[in-house]
Structure 1
Amino acid sequence: MQYTKHVTGTKAKLKIYCDEFNERIRVDEYSGNFSEITRLIEDSAREHSAHKVIIKARAEQLLNFLEKGYVLEAVIKGFFAGSDVYFLGKYKTEARKMSTHWEKSEKIFSDVQDLKQDTKNPLHKFQLHKGEVKDAERLAALYEKVFPVYPVPLHDPEYVRKSMESGTVFLFIEKNKEIISAASAEVDMLNGNAELTDCATLPSYRGGGMMKQLLAGLEDELVKRKIFCVYTIARSLSYGMNAAFKQLGYRYGGRLVNNCYIYDKMEDMNIWWKDLSQE
């Protein structure tokens, strides 16, 4: 079960994303007395038996959270309507803290660092389609084929439909009426940012540059909406996804250890970000 709830104390309040599937809670917003903020966070972690606590912290409270034992894992420039966000983590179990694939992730990251920004026109330009409610079942079918496990229930057409209705933009490429590659942008109009996510390509069609074209298409759509802070949270074990964002000019922001269940296990996730106003 995954849902957002508001927690209110006498001198503080929080907006918390409760994620039982991934055994974590994420504090998306907080205000008020700092001591009460941290107490409410700890109470919520115990209530939900969270193995990891994630906080989207602002610069003003960064040192205070570090003094409480939180660890800085990643940064995104301009996330809060121009102000930076600091992803902080605290682990409640030893197993959740220990990354079991760190060496492989580091090798992939090192290899990706050698890539240059790719500004060449692709050999083949694919036609991009904007997802509509009627496409939800075909999109869900793609995600079910690509991801045995995913942090959110993208294999459920109803979930995809609700995502669209809440403002998420899907772009996809199809062949013979089958969607073979897709990606989405979850737009936060209030803070002026968007997460590029739900990137999936059928195995037999990978390597043809489709994903980079989808991501570039989403960037164009976001600029039209005056959304300039764009980021992604990519599997650290996926060379292809990390390479795609590096070649598109994204900057590495850090790694979230044992962040979520994806593909077939609990994995570390790399953050990449970009300021589209500088393009």
Structure 2
Amino acid sequence: MNITASVKKIKKDNFVAELYLDPFNKRLRVDDYAGELAHAVNEAEKTAKEHQYEKVIFRGRVENYIDLLAMGFQCEAVIDGYFRGSDQYFFCKYFSDERRTNGHWISEDSIVKNVASLERNPDVIMPSSEYQLIKITEEDAVKLAELYREVFKIYPTPLHDPSYIKKTIREGTIYYAFQYKDDLVSAASAEVNLFYKNAELTDCATLPTHRKHGLMKILLEKLEKDLKSQSVFCAYSIARALSFGMNAVLHQLGYSYRGRLLNNCYIFDKLENMNVWVKNLANSD
């Protein structure tokens, strides 16, 4: 089976839709739509069942909130300002009881509560001169893929493949990393949507032996500056709900918790819940 994700654009007489087909994570996401909502939903569900996917995610708009609830979806999270200033709602529907069940929800609630109680500290301290901050180019793709292979046994996108990283760079994804001696030891990226003026801060990885230096905060702040220079002010990140450290970094940088996506993707070593965090960069220094 081909596990590479793909985009399917559908244009009918009374609706258009952009579907993201993700066989590796057994899910379909509706990234954009216009026209007759019910027909777009029917098309998405039909396609998901044809591919035996277990979950449909709909990037819904506020004006369709009640309609999507009535069609059996549930709202799991929100991204403030995603659609050029208008909020986006993650509406989800499941096609198996197993995909709808997760045993970590209560412990993840506790992590969010403990993270929220931390004092916010956006200040970053540059590490020693042995760490060099670099912007990743296609020439660095092999080293970056090695870093992701070492940190993640499983990842929802094929970042273990240097050719995939090169492709995303050509499509506008921004990567920053810290180099220590000859190796990359920490990295993060921003997937930019210039049409709707938003960006997902993602692909955050640091080798365990380099995790006490605050490298990720520095990388994310650097990405934020790049985004603001492109007039992209809606920044969001989707972090492993079981990762106290990553959720704490986002909280300290001024991101707000906006919900949790249930059994969203295969990452680290299993199917995991993911927390959604959002920040309006227009209000940051």
TM-score of the superposed pair, with normalisation by structure 2: 0.95
Matched, 1:140 2:145: yes
The one-letter amino acid paired with 1:221 is D
Whole-Å Cα distance in 2 between the matches of residues 194 and 187 of structure 1? 4
Whole-Å Cα distance in 1 between the matches of residues 260 and 157 of structure 2? 20
1:41 corresponds in structure 2 to 44
Change (3 A) 1:206 1:88: same
Whole-Å Cα distance in 2 between the matches of residues 145 and 35 of structure 1? 44
Q: Deviations over 1:219-278 (max 9, x none)?
A: 111111111000000000001100000000000111000000000000000000000001
The one-letter amino acid paired with 1:115 is L
2:26 corresponds in structure 1 to 23
Unaligned runs of 5+ residues in structure 1 are: none
How big is the alpha-carbon RMSD for the aligned residues of Structure 1 and Structure 2?
Answer: 1.2
Tell me if structure 1 keeps the 8 A contact 2:18–2:31: yes
Whole-Å Cα distance in 2 between the matches of residues 111 and 26 of structure 1? 31
The one-letter amino acid paired with 1:87 is F
Tell me if structure 2 keeps the 8 A contact 1:4–1:17: yes
Q: Deviations over 1:173-208 (max 9, x none)?
A: 011110000000000000000000000000111121
1:123: Cα distance to partner?
Answer: 6.3
The one-letter amino acid paired with 1:230 is A
1:121: Cα distance to partner?
Answer: 4.2
The one-letter amino acid paired with 2:273 is D
Whole-Å Cα distance in 1 between the matches of residues 132 and 182 of structure 2? 13
Question: For 2:107, which of 97, 104, 108 is the aligned residue?
Answer: 104
1:54 partner SS: strand
The one-letter amino acid paired with 1:117 is R
1:272 corresponds in structure 2 to 277
TM-score of the superposed pair, with normalisation by structure 1: 0.97
1:77 corresponds in structure 2 to 80
Instruction: Report matched runs for 1:7-18 at 5 Å.
Output: 7-18=10-21
Q: How many residues were matched structurally?
A: 279
The one-letter amino acid paired with 1:274 is K
Pick which of 10-19 and 125-134 moved more.
125-134
Question: For 2:253, which of 240, 248, 252 is the aligned residue?
Answer: 248
Unaligned runs of 5+ residues in structure 2 are: none
Q: Deviations over 1:70-128 (max 9, x none)?
A: 00000111101111100000010000011121122112111101112203342636542
1:73 partner SS: strand
1:202 corresponds in structure 2 to 207
